[in-house]
Amino acid sequence: MRTRADIRPRRGSRTDMAAAEGGGGGGARPDAAVQRAELGPLLAAAPRPGESWYLVDSRWFKQWKKYVGFDSWDMFGAGDLSLFPGPIDNSGLFGDPETQSLKEHLIDELDYVLVPTEAWNKLVTWYGCIDGQQPIVRKVVEYGLFVKHYKVEVYLLELKLGESSDPDNVVSCHFSKADTVATIEKEMRKLFNIPAEKETRLWNRYMSNTYEQLSKLDSTVQDAGLYQGQVVLIEVKNEDGTWPGQHFLAKGSGFVCNSYNCRDSASLSQPGLCGLSNLGNTCFMNSALQCLSNTPPLTDYFLEDKYEAEINQNNPLGMRGEIAEAYAELIKQIWSGRQSYVAPRMFKTQVGRFAPQFSGYQQQDSQELLAFLLDGLHEDLNRVKKKPYLELKDANGRPDSEVAKEAWENHRLRNDSIIVDIFHGLFKSTLVCPKCSKVSVTFDPFCYLTLPLPLRRDRLMEVTLVYADPQHRPVQYRVVVPMMGAISDLCESLSKLSGVPAENMVVTDVYNHRFHKIFQMDEGLNHIMPKDDIFVYEVCKPSEDGSEYITLSVYFREKTMRQSSSTSGTVLFGQPLLISVPKHKLTVDHLYSVVLEQISRYVKFPLAEEYPTPCPDKGTCNGSSGVDEGDIEEMEHQDGGQEGKEKLAEVDPCHSEGCMQIESARDLQPCKKQHFTFSLVNSSGNSEINSIVEGKILKLNAFSALAIDWDSDTRRLLFDEQEAQAFEKHASMLQPQKKKAVVALRDCIELFTTMETLGEHDPWYCPNCKKHQQATKKFDLWSLPRILVVHLKRFSYSRYWRDKLDTVVEFPIRGLNMSEFVCDPRAGSYVYDLIAVSNHYGAMGVGHYTAYAKNKVNDKWYYFDDSSVSVASEDQIVTKAAYVLFYQRRNSEEHTAPSPPQEECDGMDTN
């Protein structure tokens, strides 16, 4: 039996010469199994310091994986030979194609993948790169002092370098975080022509003209705390041995004080109203710190030095007390009333030593930092010096009160700190087996509540409809589709707005002038990400004569001559087409006429009088003249520019059977030389896979890809680029979007406590059935802490999708009554007032964090935005940006710490 793998490309096909098609490299390629075997271990390797790794556009990489059968779904490892990826194409990663600078905010795995040098070299050898594209190579950098953590540094740090004598005239330069201050100094000496014998000093310049000397030349950029956009000035010593610094530093500027860079105010400010400088994407940290700083019981504990007696330097789970001490020093600075802002550099450095994910200057998550910080403070201040081993017992039908009391006591035997006193509560978790009805009840401590937001039921999508009528410009629509809907739902919704029948639509993702994906009707809309360019094609399926139609992809390519050699390559351009052709008319003649008609709006052909000689032979109108397509290309490439132009002038109108279907204005096709030639290509359009022979019925599959190849002169003369890209906007694009639904905080709590069935990938092991079951699970709240931290789960992740829910959640500023959600029948009153909010503005992975907080001294609300602090009013606080809420229990001063309930009491009131 002959399989697809047995079919060999024709002689002269450039499937074997991927790089010849797209540039550089492209030697003999081993088969799919060898490629998988050679690259598998390399791709699984962990980055090591000093190594170079390369960025590859994830779209190209995914296509390569499918081509060689690398994905887990390809159980036989057969691959898909129709998905040949062609040369490596990173153009989707460039913000500016000229400078080839990276787009901002690219996400690992989603936008690009990282491969080590050896893997990159193999891929380039096998496939080559697109002409003119430089490899995107980056170094592996080491983070953290105690916990080593290695990461590929995708984005270099931009520093603004200047001279102290002209501090406003700066030059941007990029450095690795592993570079030293000495490297910066060397670069600055070169930039500003400072002789080697001259003595220099380097200074950081912050906002409000605060300066700090960079005295340790062997310190790395990361350890020195330099951040994106930081201004660094170089100062040259005077001939008389003095420094000119007195002049440029005297202009109302401040100096550094101890480990915190702070600005002394002329008048004392209100304690607690102290901003935190942004050290470069550290607004997430500043937001979390301001919320904690305005948590009265915790701040009082540090200001009164109670922490000193409780520091646990020997806890293996802790950080030797260093996080607690750094936090204490920062809180004392904030509440001293002496500074209007401080730079939390020392604190950030300490956090980075123990949690390397926070050591860089990428945007992070304020809630993740908060979780780390509460856990770190707890372990640094844990009063339990030696944790006892405890065996967990199942409830086995015992009363909830007894099991809860036991769980809390066990928790306190191992965990006893100010954090547990203030922030810890108790969950009740109930699992029920669907087969044997076994009920499992457990009680678990928590430090904060993560509440789901009710998911939006629908989603807005912007798509462009390409009509079958070639004279109709494409139209952009905004459609409402179900959040978890299918492609068919998109088509139905678009059909209502456009009048085009849904069954005549084909939905595609167009990327770099090619179809990245052609969707099936039953595929989920979750495969489509917000940034994808979705084009929906109207494909006519007439059936008067009952003939079978086939839909083909058509790409535009321009043949280009290489400067380095006499060979030619091709470059994709324009918007691809989808055309439907009856199977019995699949000839080069008919395809030519159909394509000509489809592009007639933006390709303007010469009139008949320009072709004086009539076409003598009806039916010989073809682009191949019976010659193998590969040979034609070779001949064309040898023609030379002028001769090609002369040939254009020789051709005459033709009225063959296939041409007669075209309107009279379009039926003037060349006979001896057509405006373009056809090639059968892979789905990326960058490699030919077969010849197209004139005169025969072509045997093509649905969505086979054809390229129409133009020479540069013809494209320039006939192709109207502006009209080809033109589109219109439907009224749906101009309508104001509906106001988003508002959700109450209690809706989120109710959703959290709703019973759910575990997913098939997350089953529970039933001890009765002795197997994993999709049990039902229900969370309840048994006891709540003095300070209730509520994390609104705004960010959602999936394999295809990363999103932020910007729903407005209405939460009370005062009087949040949680009593009805507490299932302990003996519990007291749980009424809370808001004391702080961490806000997140913008999209996921980017954006900005701020905080609202209530000052414990004067009970007024303030807005904290990095180093700026301003008065706020209560009506400003509830917004769609609210991310983490801090509530304080009323009368909490009466409850100094949660303690186990008395023996005679069944309740689990831990406060």
> Which residues does the annotation mark as catalytic?
283, 848
Contacts of 791 (CB under 8 A, 6+ apart): 367, 448, 449, 450, 451, 883, 884
Tell me the C-alpha distance between 141 and 162, whole Å: 27
- 720's enclosing H/E stretch is none
> CB of 486 within 8 A of CB of 492?
no
Tell me the C-alpha distance between 243 and 233, whole Å: 14
Helices and strands per DSSP (H, E), number in the chain: 21, 43
CA atoms within 13 Å, Cβ hemisphere of 487: 19
- 635's enclosing H/E stretch is helix 629-639
The pairing of beta strand 868-871 with beta strand 439-446: unpaired
Looking up tokens 């050290």 gives 279
Helix 322-334 vs helix 283-293: crossing angle, to nearest 10: 80
Provide the 8-state DSSP code for 380.
H
Instruction: Using alpha carbons, select from 622, 642, 641 the residue that is nearest to residue 632.
Output: 622
Provide the 8-state DSSP code for 724.
H
User: Torsions phi, psi of 775, nearest 5?
Assistant: -75, 165
Looking up tokens 């009391």 gives 405
Q: What is the 3-state secondary structure (H, E, C) of 51-86?
A: CEEEEEEHHHHHHHHHHHCCCCCCCCCCCCHHHCCC
C-alpha dist (Å) from residue 315 to 380, 381, 387, 408: 7, 9, 9, 21
Q: Which amino acid is at 865?
A: D
Instruction: Using alpha carbons, select from 421, 447, 293, 449 the residue that is nearest to residue 893.
Output: 421
Question: DSSP readout, 861-878?
Answer: EEEEETTEEEE--GGGS-
Cα angle: 901, vertex 905, 908; to 5 degrees: 45
Instruction: Using alpha carbons, select from 82, 111, 62 the residue that is nearest to residue 9.
Output: 82
The dihedral over CA atoms of 553, 558, 564, 567, expressed in degrees to the nearest 10, equals: 70
